[in-house]
Structure 1
Amino acid sequence: MTMESLRSIEEVDIHKYIEVLQRRWLAVVGVFGLSLALGCLYAFSLKPSYKADGSLMIMTNRTFSLTGLPQDIGKLEPLNVNDNPLETQVRIIGSNPVLERTINTLNLKEANGKKLSIRIFAQQLKIEGIKGTDVVQISYKSNNAEQAAKVVNTVIKSYIDLNIQANQDEAVTAKQVILREIPKAEESVKKAESELRIFKEINKIVALEQEATVAVDTVSKLSNQISQAQAQLNDVKGRLEQLRAQAQVNSQQGVIASELSQAPGVQKVLAELQETQSKLAIERTRFEPEHPAITALEEKVAVLEKLLKERTGEVAGNAPVTQGSLQVGQLRQSLIADITRAEAQRVGLERQITTLIQQRDAYIKRANYLPKLEQNQRELERRLQAAQGTYETLLKKRQEIDIAQNQKIPNARVISYALVPDFPEGPRKILFVIGGGAVGIFLGIIAAFSIDLIDRSVKTVKEAKEVLRYTVLGVIPTLGRNSKDESPIPGLDRPVPKIIGRDIPYFPLGDAYQILQVNLKFLCSDKPLKSIVVTSSVPKEGKSEVSANLAVTMAQAGRRVLLVDADMRHPIQHHIWELSNEIGLSNVLIGQVTLEDAVQEVMPNLEVLPCGILPPNPVAMLDSQRMATLMSNFARDYDFIIFDTPPLTGIADAAVLSTLTDGILLVVRPGVVDFDSANAAKEFLTQSGQKVLGIVINGVNIKNEPNGYIYSYKEPQLESKSLSGSLMKLSKRR
């Protein structure tokens, strides 16, 4: 994740903004001073001017109040109930027609002799409504006192004249509209009346309320009649069941039996059939079944049965009929007659109930439809009333407009005309000065944040931690250096780094390096560190200074330390320690000199191996077997070895040398390294599989760190030795 993404999700912190202002205070002060100076120049260049004031009171049209007619025309009513009609009139007074009439009346001109433009005139004219009143105040500033008063009075007169003309024009326009609308309104009344009449005729409406009352009563009566008829029907059904039980026939059988017993054709055939059947029974006792007499009688019986079936079919239809039911007794015939009458009574009652139910349903349906009819009727009546109201209103408005057309009373009254001012009104110069200062502060803050946004460098310890995401082993503050000349040595592009206790005071840098060496000591609990490579992302981050002072701190703690200047491109350790660079690491690697001849002691427990002559291929030399052998000798003779190597950007020296050591110590200097270089170094270290022990943040400006960030690490309680005393002993030994 890039630093831009981290910034976008970072919680807003007021301290972060304060840090930006602290870093960019010069930009803030510069912009503030420039803006303040411009404000002062403008304030003192202004000329005094005269101001004239006049006032108007906005009123409703008084003509209608006197005549007793409604005050609709000329009345200042806003379209929105939350609007103030006074604001509308303020806009009208400042409108182009009023201003243009004033300019033409007074023949106002600009300094070059041209006609004064409405835009410039409006800027010099002030029109405002006084809150809580109906008063509008008009003010004008000019270098001419008399002209200032004339302008205000002419604006008032122009507004009043245009107001009267506008009212009259409005009345004429309204009359034309009303005269066009009256015939339409009259036609709407006739149409509404016709629609209401047709509606009543189609739905047979006379009085809906009375009809609803009658419908309710009728439904109640029909319901009572239905209940009575159902009670009678139940009685008839009960009596019918008793009669059926006595006659052992159902209603249909009883009716059929009664009809058959009273049918002559059926009874005659039945009698002849019974007689023939009797003869057949007698003859069968006398003759054999095949006898001609028996056969003749059987044939006659069959013919009579067929004829009887046809006759009964004519009377009973398809209903089944037994021969026993063709003749009934007198008692049974009486029962069947009662059954027939009861059945007829039942059928009549059922039909009566059906008719009553149909009538009741019809009334209920009509009653349910009445509300809708009433709703439609009321809608038509409302339309008629609305049309009639519109028509009557238009007729009344026509009379009112005739009166308004002749009125010449404005909607405003002059409270006071403008008087010629006696004294000029000087501009408030202090306000322009204050305004220039305020704008300067605002623009200065914007400039500070803009510069900080454009600046791509890592600015604080927090940003360094976020971009690299390595353990912070030490934070080295920056101090003002007055002990030595800061000008670089000829041939160098940067000043020579300083040694604590010798070139600069011990506190607080000594404490910071004590923390660094203690953190390195306890970094690996299983195997103590013995050798490290000190490098940085880009040049001028102070890696050589950190290497030298870390070596001093470790030597001061009693450890035998070797500081190796492995920067075979831009070596500087010999300048720091004021040593000769004629022989050094490169000479040892090519076998020109021995290690003992090249190493030089600079203080007790600290020896320095300069770079030596600059080789054409430093990487090949550092990656040689000779260097690996030499590293074994270093580990045998010294407690700790520190390699000062070139920066990581575009150079592989540090990566090659780190394979022979316990890891890399990366130096980061806020304000020098940018985010892209830091990310590139991070990516290089990750892809090459280097072991990074942590980072040392060098040259930290205490003022730029919130809440004393550099002291967030607990300082170990160590007794520091006097480095200056050690250096004095070394000088005497030399």
Structure 2
Amino acid sequence: MESQENSLQANKYLQIWKRRYIPAINIFFSVLLLSIMAAFVLQKPSYVAEAKLRFQRNNATSTLTGVGTEIGKLEPVVEDNQINPLNTEAEVIRSLPVVQKTISILQLKDNSGLIITPEDFLDNLTVKNVNKTDILSISYKDTNPVQAAKVVNVLIKIYLEQNVNLLRIETATARKFIEKQLPNAEAVVQQTEAELARFKERYQLVSLQEEVTQSVAVMGELQKQMSDVQSNLANVDAQSLAVRKQLDMNSQQALMMASLSQTPGVQDILKEIQQLESQLAGRRTVLQDTHPQIIDLQEKLKSLNGLLQQRVKIVADTSQPQFNNNMQLGALQQQLAAKLVELESNRLGLANQTATLSKLQAAYKERLNIMPKLEQYQRQLERKLQAAQSTYSLLLQKLQESHIAENQNVGNASIISQAEVPNKPSSSRLLTYLSAVLLASIASFATIYLLEAKDKSIKTVDEAKELLGLTLLGVIPVVGKLKKYIGSDEKAESYSQRLIVRDAPRSPISEAYRMLRANLKFISADNELKVIVVTSSVPTEGKSTVSANLAVAMAQTGRKVLLIDADLRRPVQHKIWELMNSKGLSNLIIGQAEITTAVKNVMDNLDVLPSGVLPPNPGSLLDSLRMATLMETFASKYDFVIVDAPSINVAADAATLGQMADGVLFVVRPGVVDSVNADFAQEQLKKSGQNVLGQVVNGVIVNNEPYSYYYYYEEERSHLTTTGVNNTKAVAGSSNN
């Protein structure tokens, strides 16, 4: 599909060349000759001086010393492998400050004695990268060879000085910036160190990792000790419980009883009380309670009990001691009481030890719980300190490097070869010829473009098809030499506007009209066409010739045909048929003539109705009821009625007549009608609601067409039948296209 489109485009350009090659060739050779003459007369010989610069990614001093290696490094800003830093340096050489300084130093002047402009200077200056090298070539063209060499050398000198100065400025700027930032960096280091020290002092940190390790070990030891103490406490509790059960008293009571049993005053009173109780019991056996002896014994017993209470209170340190009545313990009971007291003392000691260990363990655990946060914060402070120290160290290093680099007096570029005074001019005749050919070619193509842009006419059959969008019913070639087809000694040019189908039946043009007749028959297979109006966009498109020859072609089939010249403004049919035009269509409309006298028989089955006397108001006559009646009469008497109507852009007569006909046949002639008029005519036909049968492209020049639509007959009459069949197929194929 793409190759087909390219082929169509190539054919289009070829046709344009065929139409415009004569003026294009004339312009080409004229401009070529003038350009060559001007070049040799006006052009002075020019000389080119050239020098070369070599560039290194880093300058040699920085590479050897290792100091300031990043200063002046040749690298592109954008990360793109296709960007070459040498192109940037080339633009720096061509920059306005360098150029203006060179012009000022050398006082360069033009032919009129004025200081040249930077634009003129740059037109003669060439800076390019030598392929696959780190070398820039700088050349300058001038009519003075010495001047050309001076310009290049001065330009290179200015660039190198500017390059070194620029590096110095960049280094000084960096040094000042570092000197300004260095105190801040030092302050940040001191501040971070103080913050880290305060943190360690606050949390009493020496080494977090060691403290965590030791704390874990201490926690394990405390847990072990607590387990042992709890085991001992459980053992003491078990022994204490067994002793309490044997004594039937608690530890407080056992302690008190042991104290009382070991107090002599208490024991003496107890013995006296026991004696009195014995006496009282003995006397009660013989005496009554009211006896004075009984009462005396009771009073003594009461007194001794009071004294016992006082002494017990002193020993037990309580006002109401709770103990058994038996305050005299045996040796075993005393041992058990002492054991119980000892066990109670051990239990209290172990309980206190357990509480102490638990508090100590809780303290270590709490410390371990905050250790991760302390460690995290310490790492943050250490990282901050490390970063601050790194920044401070780097700034110190860069400050030293900037001091050294600022004193360096070299750059990345070095001169390989200075410009020498050229001996031979650089101007080449071949270049002059090529420039002249190029200029002449541009002029010739511009001529073709302007002629094509100015010419709005339809030029080919394809353009007519594309512009109008109508069915192509016939393609009529331009009238050529028809001498051998008509078989007479008359000049062929006299038949160019006449009846070719009648007078040259063997010609390709006659075959084209017969194809038009056949195509009209094909499109009217369902609805028979009887009345056909033939019109065009503008005059001189050959609509009258087409009407006449189409009428002849139809009449040759044996059908009865009437040809009406309805162009009441510029009639032609009476001239084609060599008839008198005293009576015709206009006379019939106004009733000044009869059909039998106005209609002329010109050949078998063909009658012609000329226009008649030209009226002052042809549009009114053609749009009258009388005209409509005449058209109905003609349609009933003839098999075909062909109406030669005026051009659409001249008058509205064709539209009026089209309403009375079965269809309109539109004639287009390449080279005569333009696209504007053709498009306007088509719009008028659409607006008036005409039944446009299709278009006939008339006067086609075969050589101007991209495709061969036609075959010219070269055979004699005896071979006409076979050749005619093939030619008919060829024309039919072109019509369908």
What interval of TM-score do these two structures reach, taking the shorter chain for normalisation? 0.5 to 0.7
Which residue number in structure 2 is paired with residue 87 of structure 1? Answer: 87
Which residue number in structure 2 is paired with residue 419 of structure 1? Answer: 420
Q: Distance in 2 between matches of 1:200 and 1:540?
A: 113
Describe the shift of the 1:88–1:552 C-alpha distance in structure 2 as closer, same or farther (beyond 3 A). same
Which residue number in structure 1 is paired with residue 120 of structure 2? Answer: 120
What SS class does the counterpart of residue 544 from structure 2 fall into? helix
Shift of 1:576: 1.7
Which residue number in structure 2 is paired with residue 391 of structure 1? Answer: 392
Describe the shift of the 1:437–1:419 C-alpha distance in structure 2 as closer, same or farther (beyond 3 A). closer
Q: C-alpha offsets along residues 28-63 of structure 1, whole Å, 9 cap, x if unaligned? A: 556655654564345433221222222232344333
Q: C-alpha offsets along residues 217-244 of structure 1, whole Å, 9 cap, x if unaligned? A: 999999xxxxxxxxxxxxxxxxxxxxxx
Q: C-alpha offsets along residues 119-157 of structure 1, whole Å, 9 cap, x if unaligned? A: 333332323232332323222222222333333333333
Shift of 1:380: 5.2
**Contact 2:178–2:399 at 8 Å: present in 1 too?**
yes
Q: Distance in 2 between matches of 1:719 and 1:62?
A: 90
Which residue number in structure 2 is paired with residue 539 of structure 1? Answer: 539
Q: Distance in 1 between matches of 2:667 and 2:526?
A: 25
Q: C-alpha offsets along residues 154-189 of structure 1, whole Å, 9 cap, x if unaligned? A: 333333344444444444333323222221222233
Q: Distance in 2 between matches of 1:174 and 1:408?
A: 17
Q: Which runs of 5+ in 1 are unaligned?
A: 1-10, 223-354, 489-494, 722-734
TM norm structure 2: 0.65
Q: Does 1:515 align with 2:508?
A: no
Q: 1:50 aligns with which of 30, 47, 52?
A: 47
Shift of 1:74: 4.5
Which residue number in structure 2 is paired with residue 40 of structure 1? Answer: 36
What SS class does the counterpart of residue 181 from structure 1 fall into? helix
Q: Give the counterpart letter for 1:528 in structure 2.
A: E
Shift of 1:548: 0.9
Q: Give the counterpart letter for 2:389 in structure 1.
A: Q
Larger Rg: 2
Shift of 1:644: 0.7
List aligned pairs for 1:339-488, cutoff 5 A. 374=376, 381-425=382-426, 427-438=427-438, 441=441, 445=445, 448=448, 452=452, 456-480=456-480
Describe the shift of the 1:140–1:597 C-alpha distance in structure 2 as closer, same or farther (beyond 3 A). same
**Contact 1:522–1:528 at 8 Å: present in 2 too?**
no
List aligned pairs for 1:107-146, cutoff 5 A. 107-146=107-146
Shift of 1:513: 0.7
Q: C-alpha offsets along residues 631-684 of structure 1, whole Å, 9 cap, x if unaligned? A: 455345543221111123363433443444332222233444445544444444
Which residue number in structure 2 is paired with residue 551 of structure 1? Answer: 551
**Contact 1:496–1:576 at 8 Å: present in 2 too?**
no
List aligned pairs for 1:71-86, cutoff 5 A. 71-80=69-78, 82=81, 83-86=83-86
Which residue number in structure 1 is paired with residue 568 of structure 2? Answer: 568
Which residue number in structure 2 is paired with residue 640 of structure 1? Answer: 640
List aligned pairs for 1:673-684, cutoff 5 A. 673-684=673-684
**Contact 2:565–2:573 at 8 Å: present in 1 too?**
yes
Q: Distance in 2 between matches of 1:630 and 1:717?
A: 41
Describe the shift of the 1:429–1:403 C-alpha distance in structure 2 as closer, same or farther (beyond 3 A). same
Which residue number in structure 2 is paired with residue 61 of structure 1? Answer: 59
**Contact 2:536–2:646 at 8 Å: present in 1 too?**
yes
Shift of 1:451: 5.4
Q: C-alpha offsets along residues 181-207 of structure 1, whole Å, 9 cap, x if unaligned? A: 221222233344456667778999877
Q: Give the counterpart letter for 1:79 in structure 2.
A: V
Q: C-alpha offsets along residues 465-524 of structure 1, whole Å, 9 cap, x if unaligned? A: 455444322222334579899999xxxxxx983331578785321121111111222332
Which residue number in structure 2 is paired with residue 228 of structure 1? Answer: none
Q: Give the counterpart letter for 2:43 in structure 1.
A: L
Shift of 1:101: 4.3
Shift of 1:432: 4.2
Q: Distance in 2 between matches of 1:395 and 1:160?
A: 30
Q: Give the counterpart letter for 1:598 in structure 2.
A: A
Q: Give the counterpart letter for 2:69 in structure 1.
A: Q
Q: Which runs of 5+ in 2 are unaligned?
A: 223-358, 484-489, 712-719, 726-737
**Contact 2:480–2:496 at 8 Å: present in 1 too?**
no
Q: Distance in 1 between matches of 2:369 and 2:440?
A: 86
Q: Give the counterpart letter for 1:69 in structure 2.
A: V
Describe the shift of the 1:139–1:363 C-alpha distance in structure 2 as closer, same or farther (beyond 3 A). same
Q: Give the counterpart letter for 2:45 in structure 1.
A: P
Q: Give the counterpart letter for 2:408 in structure 1.
A: Q
**Contact 1:496–1:572 at 8 Å: present in 2 too?**
no
**Contact 1:500–1:510 at 8 Å: present in 2 too?**
yes
Which residue number in structure 2 is paired with residue 697 of structure 1? Answer: 697
Q: Distance in 2 between matches of 1:462 and 1:620?
A: 37
508-517 or 575-584: which moved more?
575-584
Q: Distance in 1 between matches of 2:456 and 2:624?
A: 38
Q: C-alpha offsets along residues 331-377 of structure 1, whole Å, 9 cap, x if unaligned? A: xxxxxxxxxxxxxxxxxxxxxxxx9xx9999999979x76x974x76
**Contact 1:496–1:575 at 8 Å: present in 2 too?**
no
Which residue number in structure 2 is paired with residue 19 of structure 1? Answer: 12
Q: Distance in 2 between matches of 1:548 and 1:175?
A: 101
TM norm structure 1: 0.65
Describe the shift of the 1:128–1:618 C-alpha distance in structure 2 as closer, same or farther (beyond 3 A). closer
Which residue number in structure 1 is paired with residue 156 of structure 2? Answer: 156
Which residue number in structure 2 is paired with residue 583 of structure 1? Answer: 583
What SS class does the counterpart of residue 396 from structure 1 fall into? helix
**Contact 1:534–1:666 at 8 Å: present in 2 too?**
yes
Q: Give the counterpart letter for 1:416 in structure 2.
A: S
Q: Distance in 1 between matches of 2:571 and 2:37?
A: 56
Describe the shift of the 1:567–1:202 C-alpha distance in structure 2 as closer, same or farther (beyond 3 A). farther
Q: Does 1:662 align with 2:662?
A: yes
Give the count of matched residue pairs.
565
**Contact 1:42–1:432 at 8 Å: present in 2 too?**
no
**Contact 1:219–1:363 at 8 Å: present in 2 too?**
no
Q: C-alpha offsets along residues 250-277 of structure 1, whole Å, 9 cap, x if unaligned? A: xxxxxxxxxxxxxxxxxxxxxxxxxxxx
Q: Distance in 1 between matches of 2:34 and 2:202?
A: 88
Q: Distance in 2 between matches of 1:439 and 1:216?
A: 96
Q: Give the counterpart letter for 1:533 in structure 2.
A: V
Shift of 1:436: 4.5
Describe the shift of the 1:68–1:682 C-alpha distance in structure 2 as closer, same or farther (beyond 3 A). closer
Which residue number in structure 1 is paired with residue 353 of structure 2? Answer: none
Q: C-alpha offsets along residues 395-424 of structure 1, whole Å, 9 cap, x if unaligned? A: 222323333333334543332233222322
**Contact 1:533–1:654 at 8 Å: present in 2 too?**
yes
What SS class does the counterpart of residue 695 from structure 1 fall into? strand
Q: Distance in 2 between matches of 1:196 and 1:373?
A: 12
